[in-house]
Structure 1
Amino acid sequence: MGDWLVSAYDQNVSNDGDSLATSVEREALGLLRSLFGLPESFEGAFVSGATAANLVSLATARQWVMERLGHDVSEEGLWGLPRPVVLGGAPHASVLKALSILGMGRRSVEAVPCLPDRPVMDPKALESRLAALGGAPAIVLASAGEVNTGDFDDLEALGQLCRRYGAWLHVDGAFGIFAACSPAHEQLLRGLAHADSVAADGHKWLNVPYDSGIVFTRHLALQERVFRAVAAYLGQGPDLLHRTPENSRRFRALPAWMTLMAYGRDGHRALVERGCALARDLGEGLAASPHYAVLAPVKLNIVCFALRSGDAARRDRLLQALQADGRVHFTPTQYAGRPGLRAAFSNWRTDAADLPLILAALEAAASAPPAG
């Protein structure tokens, strides 16, 4: 209903004082900051999704790096300037896309070795690389909820290293940041307050319609140097349009605000914990199956698994059979050198009654004779 009202209202959320919309956005950001356990020093904005949130974060990080090197990239551009040092373990494709758009390039990411059998950075390997820079600025890309396994970088260890060596810590928390809602999982985010920028996504666990990302930063002045739009008709106030790539902005904060007010902290804790319980139970059911193997421990709400035998072609036939069956939907992935499948629980309508149906559909698809 909130999203319908946004379309009917059709208010441009750019300048403070034009309407109540900017006040609602600021309040929604404050509620989310509290929900995620971020300090009040973090300022935010709504953007179109986690990809845009990563873009805004890394544009701000780029400005920081270049100012450290004596350049104002927002005014001078990148031409002739040194390439920023970017370090990461297993960054999401949207982070690489943002680096491409920003002119830093996907290949700018230097791979930091990961811990054994986990897609997360080895803090000792990161410390070695940061120490070798001799004080030169760097951007460190961390994950709060890796896309295949739901695993988390050690944000406390990485944050301490970034503070010690003067690096920028960006945390991609598209869905994993909602672990903060659950006392059983909030420790996964220990150290989040060390971040310089954070990306989150409302259309995942917040369950609002698409076009709802959130970006937070401890360096609002830097962010506004990148995204400010100066024109007489735009005014000169501390307006939200100076925080994001868009001048004209949809009132995307309203559905999020209504959801937060309707369900509150307890409602979102229940939603997160139910999704995590379903993922854990699905992992146990698959481990007992003669047809499937779980490829990684279930950390949060994602189950990464594969057929016990067969190649990518067989996996793809299985996915086609599941799609034709119509009861459940999975996505393909590649993990630990194997063609796999990925299940992610976040929809508020999915509950324990769906689990037998999911397992039955998987067993039926795996047991069916090959087509043709």
Structure 2
Amino acid sequence: MNKTLQTDLLEIESLLELVKKQGIEYLNKIDERKTSANVHKAELINLDSKGLGARNTLQLFNETFEPTIVSSSGPRFWGYVIGGSTPASIMGDWLATIYDQNPQAINGEGDISANIELETIQLILDLFNLPKSFVGGFVTGATMSNFTCLAVARQWFGKNYGKDFAKEGITEKINVLTATPHSSALKSLALLGIGSNNIIKVNTIEGNREAISIDDLESKIKTLNGQPFILISSAGTVNTVDFDNFNAIKKLKKKYNFWWHTDAAFGGFAACSDTYNHFVKDWGHSDSITIDCHKWLNVPYESAVFLIKEEHSSLQVESFQNSNAPYLGNPMENFNYLNFLPENSRRLKALPAWFSLRAYGKEGYKNIVENAIDLAKYFGSKIKESENFKLLAPVRLNNIVFNISNNRNKENIDSFLTQLNKTGKVFMTPTLYNDQKGIRVSFVNWRTTKNDIELVFKEMNRIINIIE
């Protein structure tokens, strides 16, 4: 064995103790750590011939990169819809790294850690009150979840023409209807060869809404003259967390032939609350659903799940089975994730989610979700009452979209956001809403409190008065 590697193995306990101490210090001071960092320019370097060893490498990391690590898992990082990591999910994530499993099989010899994943999917279905008729699995994020679901939808579309698109390639124009899709869904269409521009845009409901107009949807469906199509609906649009009318879509599905995919990356968590679960009424009738766990479930990156109805399992296997390892017979017998999703090599991403779900249960996630929504409404009320800022859309759930008020120079919005983020006290992201520049804030982190909002709002008012 390499001498440096052998030394590190003998010192593994003290090395991990160093990392534990550093991690605890980060978590204990996460409120104080900045949300933005100066740009670190990568240098052209050569790899050492002998290696530094783990202890010296940790020191090098701390000198070079650690100061640029921001509190993206902290209470005032309000951009990109990033959740934090609950204590239990950190435990699960550490163990996932230590055990280093490749969850594929559920029986037989060798690694059968996929059983943990299957159980975690059942917990997620129960959390969201979804039927157990979904087959699910973990992927890296909403992009790969949308990709997985839409790949099966693509296969379903081909079968309507008696073709196997997974083997033969796409030979028919695939009709995709949607109103306000997330960019990850469009990227998935590009990756799948369907085409990110190959969508039939459905109008949204009038009156500052992002949800599908059901009347226009049915009108667009009728122009297809009975052709099959894929519908991408939203359980929480990325700007204003608007929801499509799933009850109305369910009724359309009885009349027309289409694959119904629902992107519920973070909005699906409305199901955790008795107060807000009406937003997702009847979403369980979808053929497939995307859920992002490293958002409102508050587990470490990378973590998302796809949910696809079990009745489509054969299409799923046709889409993802390895060509040199064909799956014969009933795909649900001798289940193996190798045949149900894109990746052959996978981390045990389900374990952090399993730990967090088991640790906090339905009540814990109800509290996390409702607290975030209460904070969003509180922040929205402060903006609404402010002379310096204005809301661009009503606060429906956990996102805020706002701008500089009319009596201010709205051209300064870019400068305002830059200066605000530079303080390192908060991080927000720019957006475009109804052709207006705006700023988007998302509340999903379990640590955020009203004190954070008071601190940030005070800073916002200070900066707006400086730049004008």
Q: When the two structures are superposed, what TM-score results if normalisation uses the length of structure 2?
A: 0.76
Q: Which moved more, 1:311-320 or 1:178-187?
A: 311-320
Check if 1:257 corresponds to 2:354: yes
What is the CA distance between 1:353 and its match in structure 2?
2.2
Determine the C-alpha separation between the residues in 2 that align with 1:311 and 1:163.
51
Q: Which amino acid aligns with 2:157?
A: V
Q: Which amino acid aligns with 2:405?
A: R
Check if 1:270 corresponds to 2:367: yes
Q: Deviations over 1:312-346 (max 9, x none)?
A: 75111111111121211110001022110000000
* Matched residue, 1:29: 121
Check if 1:129 corresponds to 2:225: no
* Matched residue, 1:14: 104
Alpha-carbon contact 2:151-2:192 (below 8 Å) kept: yes
* Matched residue, 1:53: 145
Question: Could you say what secondary structure the match of 2:467 adopts?
Answer: coil
Check if 1:64 corresponds to 2:162: no
What is the CA distance between 1:51 and its match in structure 2?
0.5
What is the CA distance between 1:299 and its match in structure 2?
0.7
Determine the C-alpha separation between the residues in 2 that align with 1:15 and 1:46.
14
What is the CA distance between 1:4 and its match in structure 2?
1.5
Which sections of structure 1, spanning at least 5 residues, go unmatched?
none
Check if 1:281 corresponds to 2:392: no
* Matched residue, 2:66: none
What is the CA distance between 1:20 and its match in structure 2?
4.5
Match of 1:90 among 165, 180, 187: 180
Question: Could you say what secondary structure the match of 2:197 adopts?
Answer: helix
The aligned length equals 368
Distance 1:232 1:172, change over 3 A: closer
Q: Which amino acid aligns with 1:306?
A: N
How high is the sequence identity, in percent, across the aligned residues?
39
Question: Could you say what secondary structure the match of 2:441 adopts?
Answer: strand
* Pairing of 1:323-334 with structure 2 (within 5 A): 323-334=421-432
* Matched residue, 1:318: 416
Question: Could you say what secondary structure the match of 1:25 adopts?
Answer: helix
Q: Which amino acid aligns with 2:269?
A: F
Check if 1:242 corresponds to 2:336: no
Determine the C-alpha separation between the residues in 2 that align with 1:94 and 1:163.
28
Q: Deviations over 1:43-88 (max 9, x none)?
A: 101111110000001101010011001111111112xx12111000
What is the CA distance between 1:311 and its match in structure 2?
6.9
Alpha-carbon contact 2:240-2:401 (below 8 Å) kept: yes
Determine the C-alpha separation between the residues in 2 that align with 1:205 and 1:321.
28
Q: Which amino acid aligns with 2:307?
A: F
Determine the C-alpha separation between the residues in 2 that align with 1:42 and 1:217.
5
Determine the C-alpha separation between the residues in 1 that align with 2:458 and 2:211.
33
Which has the bigger relative contact order, CA under 8 A and spacing at least 6? 2
RMSD: 1.7
Determine the C-alpha separation between the residues in 2 that align with 1:311 and 1:48.
41
Q: Which amino acid aligns with 2:184?
A: S
Alpha-carbon contact 1:55-1:98 (below 8 Å) kept: yes
* Matched residue, 1:186: 277
Determine the C-alpha separation between the residues in 1 that align with 2:416 and 2:433.
17
Q: Which amino acid aligns with 1:109?
A: I
Distance 1:134 1:312, change over 3 A: same
Q: Which amino acid aligns with 2:155?
A: Q
* Matched residue, 1:4: 94
Structure number with greater Rg is: 2
Match of 2:401 among 304, 310, 322: 304
* Matched residue, 1:168: 259
Check if 1:217 corresponds to 2:308: yes
* Matched residue, 1:353: 451
* Matched residue, 1:228: 321
Determine the C-alpha separation between the residues in 2 that align with 1:366 and 1:15.
56
Q: Which amino acid aligns with 2:240?
A: T
Deviating beyond 6 angstroms after TM superposition, the runs of 4 or more aligned structure 1 residues are 233-236
* Matched residue, 1:103: 193
